[in-house]
Structure 1
Amino acid sequence: MSARKTPAAAAPVAAAAAVDLAIPPQLLQHLRERRLLLFAGAGLSAQAGLPTWRSLVQDVVDATIAEAMQGEESRRELEGMIAAGKWLQIADHCKLKLGPGEYARLLGERLSDFGRPVPEAHRLAVRLPFAAWVTTNYDKLLERAYAEERGGLPKTLTSLDTEALGRLLFDGAPFVLKAHGDLDKPDSLVFTSRDYRDLIHGNAAFSAAFSAILLTHSVLFVGYSLADPDFNLLLDRQLLTFRGFAPERYALMSGIGKVEEEYLWRVCQIRVIPYPEGQHEAVPAFFQRLADRLEPVDVAPLARVARAATLAVAPPALRASPATRAARVPVAAVTPAVLALDWRAGAVQAILSDAGKVIATAAGPREAWATPAAASRSLESASGRDGSLAECSGALTRTLGAATVKALGRVLKGQGGRLLRLELTREVERLPWELLALGPQTLAELAAVFRAPVGVSENARGLPAVGSPLRALVVADTKSAEPALALPGAAAEGRAVADEIRGGGVGEVRLLLGPEATHDALARAFDDFDPDVFHFAGHAWFDEHEAYLELADRHLTATMMRPWLTRHSPAFMFLNSHYTAFIPAGVEGQGAAHAEAISAGLRGRPGFADLAMRSGVGAFLGTYSGAIDDNGARDFAVAIFRALLQGATAAGALQAARSIAAEHASATALLYCLYGEGALRLVDAGEAA
């Protein structure tokens, strides 16, 4: 038997009282070409009732005086500083008096948008094809608007996510950048003069990335005034960054006079689009006019608009075409148990928690690492429960330690299908913890196990929406024209998966078999088909640098795939070939024919799990085996998709498909692991056939 191994129209804005604002032709062209950034200031969030800079600082001063017991003299001095516009100096003083923790809590309380409706301006802003949305606000109105209008969650970054920012900027994928921080990440908040100094001068990577954003995109500022310290610091940054060429910059501003307008053009080359003081309905009206001026094809990414609070089918989007699809956030509202593992002081350190409460903390025996690493090296389809599989399972159990194993057993007892999230560090990631023995069964059979992304934040990843109808890109048996490399089971798998999806009545499939599966065909499929699901069944390996998939005409390396996955992140990605998730730790000591390539791959973080997680794929399924049975892999894949199309979560579908391991001599179904969002669903229970 062969082994898989190889060398719409938006809701109208009531604009009766709105000013008819002219749209600069070049601004519209930049938007059409997706080279326009939206910079959103406090004035935009004020439309949701959140405080402007002045009112926020006044609130902070009042709280500081009340809680830090400062006297009347301090109050008068602070009030004078407010009148003089010394916002950042006041913030420094208040943070010092309140302490960082109380200060962050106070900001969170004053700036939280919880329970507030998302303004129409934010909804229209995320429908438009901006290259990115950059905001100096701390609230979550843009993220909420994105989730409600497009479905899914946007890739959302702060100054702490410089690696992700550089990657998204290079790949040209849309994102939300919270330049001055997120309320959920106190360490990212920029509010005082010291914070600004640290951001501009103390974070060289972010400063360079931010300058690159300004150099490569035109900018539209909305919600700023010349009294806003955020805006003035942005202007300072632009003047420092650009002494010659700078892309066109525009500012939609309220109540600005001719002197200020001329100043912004003369000093900063910003073209002001003015509207009368207080007539803020002009902002959503301006966004609506932009949408009206775009051709339907210009807003193609907006096919995933979903407005209903139930995250179900939405009214028409800006793109009114037959291909328009509703979209939804694809995550079940369930809370998994969490097993966090690290390697410190020569032993595995474990923390088990459930419903937010720590159940157990323990350290395994100190001698443990080499044993499970060695036991993991020979895992393949022929591994039996009384052979290498059992050896590996037992070694993992001993490594974890009796205390953690018992506690884990108590949490999972009587809860078949319970979601369990593994939070692993790089040091322990390359062990197959899913094979941990809990009595006669493995952890993977007792629970719906999935792995959290390693080394990338959930906010920076975002969460792709799942469209309706579902779109699946299936690639199989790419080397069928070469008899020595043909995989009949993979070809059958591709057809069977396509039939399952079509037969379920919830989606459409683009199937690339054999010679059809070329690099250009795949590139076109990602760009014009925008798949929710990407499934590959065929050969995979890695060269001296990185992992790759075998296509009909060339190798498809991880680097080549990254822009596709970043710009069109599938909700579910399944690469059904060997070593697509990771190479177990013990393999590097193996004297196989490909030992040199394996060693090189290990140094370069092999497999596609890391690529998928950093690119924003919702859930990624791959193997940690060096050889999986062709027919066993086919049966497993069909079982996975059958469960998903019946409304199962990704982790639940994986657990259900593992039952094949108990029915067949092949251990193939136990040699897979899931990364990302285990609670992801491709269809709702009501949609399932």
Structure 2
Amino acid sequence: MIDWPKSLISEIAERRCILFLGAGVSASATTDDGKQPPTWVAFLKDAAKLVKDANFNAAIDELIDAGELLLALQAICNCADEGDFQDLLNEIFHEPNYTPSDLHKAIYNLDSRIVITTNFDKIYDGYCMQPKNEGFKVIPYNSTSLADEIRSNRRLIIKAHGTIDDVRQMIFTRKQYHEAKRDHGKFYEILKALFVTHTCVFIGCGMNDPDINLLLEDVKILGTSSRPHYALVWKNSQNQFRIQDWANTYNVKALEYEPDHVALTNSLVTLFDEVDKLRMSTNL
């Protein structure tokens, strides 16, 4: 179980905390027949099959095995048929009827006013947008109304890399990262401001998004380490020197849990109990 810092419990209770959801959260969902969303490596290996040239295919496999995932994906996009690639994206991120997991529900129960996600799928969005769950608005990174929505009292789900609903606007490859920073600089300014003014908890994230890391590094330079952000990570899944680097470079403190979604969910349920108790006692 995660030993939650009291300061973090207070910030979540007061809704001064942003939850940042990565692919690990989506991976906990299942279809009725037990199918789960693929890992990034599994997705890339499937996508690489769209490349017909054997030499290019072998080179892409080398990039995947070396962990050069963004470059591998860029190579696939360059070499594969565009229509086939879009069909694959829809097959993986849109068509499966994934059922939200207990992890999704535990995150929802924390009732953070702002949730940011790099996930293209709509698993968490769909759970929040059910008729019984009112007051949510889903905003993509390229929305011109994002700043106004943040200043409102609405609960927001910010799609930092876009959504499967608009495949051409998804930030997926190295080239698309550069284009997004060029064409949507205001979004990254807003994101930086949110990191300055809020504590962020990264859930299911690999902490390897180049844009997010650059923003965190800038924010670290502006502030101090007395109010860290937090990353929830599997115990012993990360090199200890990498964890120390997160703290030194990005002011992100790792909170470790036993390596499965059940343990993470149980920790979040315990966190909710503490948050709810504080909200009840202070009428938050």
Q: Same fold (TM over 0.5)?
A: yes
Equivalent residue, structure 2, for 1:192: 173
| 1:156-305 matches, cutoff 5 A | 156-161=138-143, 163-226=144-207, 229-230=208-209, 232-245=210-223, 248-254=228-234, 255-276=237-258, 278-295=259-276, 298=279
Q: Secondary structure at the residue paired with 1:157?
A: strand
* Displacement after TM superposition at 1:103 (Å): 2.4
- Structure number with higher relative contact order (C-alpha < 8 Å, ≥ 6 residues apart): 2
Contact residue 116 and residue 160 of structure 2 kept, 8 A: yes
Q: Which amino acid aligns with 2:59?
A: E
Aligned pair partner of 1:95 in 69, 77, 82: 77
> Does 1:61 find its partner at 2:48?
yes
Contact residue 123 and residue 149 of structure 1 kept, 8 A: no
What is the CA–CA distance in structure 1 between the aligned matches of 2:134 and 2:171, rounded to whole Å? 27
Q: Which amino acid aligns with 1:252?
A: L
Equivalent residue, structure 1, for 2:15: 34
Structure 1 residues 113 and 250: CA distance shift in structure 2, 3 A = farther
For residues 219-278 of structure 1, give each alpha carbon's deviation from its aligned partner in whole angstroms, at most 9, with x where no partner exists.
00011225xx43x441122213442216530000012242222121122111100123x3
Q: Which amino acid aligns with 2:253?
A: R
> Does 1:70 find its partner at 2:50?
no
What is the CA–CA distance in structure 1 between the aligned matches of 2:154 and 2:136, rounded to whole Å? 10
Q: Which amino acid aligns with 1:237?
A: L
Q: Secondary structure at the residue paired with 1:273?
A: strand
What is the CA–CA distance in structure 1 between the aligned matches of 2:171 and 2:247, rounded to whole Å? 27
For residues 460-504 of structure 1, give each alpha carbon's deviation from its aligned partner in whole angstroms, at most 9, with x where no partner exists.
xxxxxxxxxxxxxxxxxxxxxxxxxxxxxxxxxxxxxxxxxxxxx
Structure 1 residues 235 and 110: CA distance shift in structure 2, 3 A = same
Q: Which amino acid aligns with 1:52?
A: T
The count of corresponding residues between Structure 1 and Structure 2 is 273
Q: What TM-score, normalized by structure 2, do the two folds share?
A: 0.87
Higher helix share: 2
Q: What TM-score, normalized by structure 1, do the two folds share?
A: 0.38
Equivalent residue, structure 2, for 1:79: 61
* Displacement after TM superposition at 1:75 (Å): 2.1
| 1:69-148 matches, cutoff 5 A | 69-71=52-54, 73-112=55-94, 114-148=96-130
What is the CA–CA distance in structure 2 between the aligned matches of 1:51 and 1:188, rounded to whole Å? 21
Equivalent residue, structure 1, for 2:33: none
Q: Which amino acid aligns with 1:88?
A: L
Q: CA RMSD in A?
A: 2.4
Q: List, as ranges, runs of 4+ consecutive aligned residues in structure 1 with deviation greater than 6 Å.
A: none
What is the CA–CA distance in structure 1 between the aligned matches of 2:163 and 2:135, rounded to whole Å? 15
* Displacement after TM superposition at 1:100 (Å): 4.1
**Range that drifts further, 117-126 or 243-252:** 243-252
Equivalent residue, structure 2, for 1:320: none
Q: Secondary structure at the residue paired with 2:158?
A: strand
| 1:432-511 matches, cutoff 5 A | none
Equivalent residue, structure 2, for 1:371: none
For residues 449-470 of structure 1, give each alpha carbon's deviation from its aligned partner in whole angstroms, at most 9, with x where no partner exists.
xxxxxxxxxxxxxxxxxxxxxx
What is the CA–CA distance in structure 2 between the aligned matches of 1:218 and 1:262, rounded to whole Å? 19
| 1:336-351 matches, cutoff 5 A | none
Q: Secondary structure at the residue paired with 2:63?
A: helix
- Structure 1 gaps of 5+ residues are 1-19, 300-527, 529-689
Q: Secondary structure at the residue paired with 1:155?
A: strand
Contact residue 39 and residue 220 of structure 1 kept, 8 A: yes
Q: Secondary structure at the residue paired with 1:220?
A: strand
- Structure 2 gaps of 5+ residues are 30-35
What is the CA–CA distance in structure 2 between the aligned matches of 1:144 and 1:290, rounded to whole Å? 23
Q: Secondary structure at the residue paired with 2:15?
A: coil
| 1:3-42 matches, cutoff 5 A | 20-42=1-23
Contact residue 112 and residue 139 of structure 1 kept, 8 A: yes
Q: Secondary structure at the residue paired with 1:75?
A: helix
What is the CA–CA distance in structure 2 between the aligned matches of 1:233 and 1:83, rounded to whole Å? 23
Structure 1 residues 153 and 130: CA distance shift in structure 2, 3 A = closer
Equivalent residue, structure 1, for 2:32: none
| 1:279-678 matches, cutoff 5 A | 279-295=260-276, 298=279
Contact residue 98 and residue 123 of structure 2 kept, 8 A: no
For residues 599-623 of structure 1, give each alpha carbon's deviation from its aligned partner in whole angstroms, at most 9, with x where no partner exists.
xxxxxxxxxxxxxxxxxxxxxxxxx
Contact residue 114 and residue 157 of structure 2 kept, 8 A: yes
Structure 1 residues 88 and 295: CA distance shift in structure 2, 3 A = closer
Contact residue 158 and residue 188 of structure 1 kept, 8 A: no
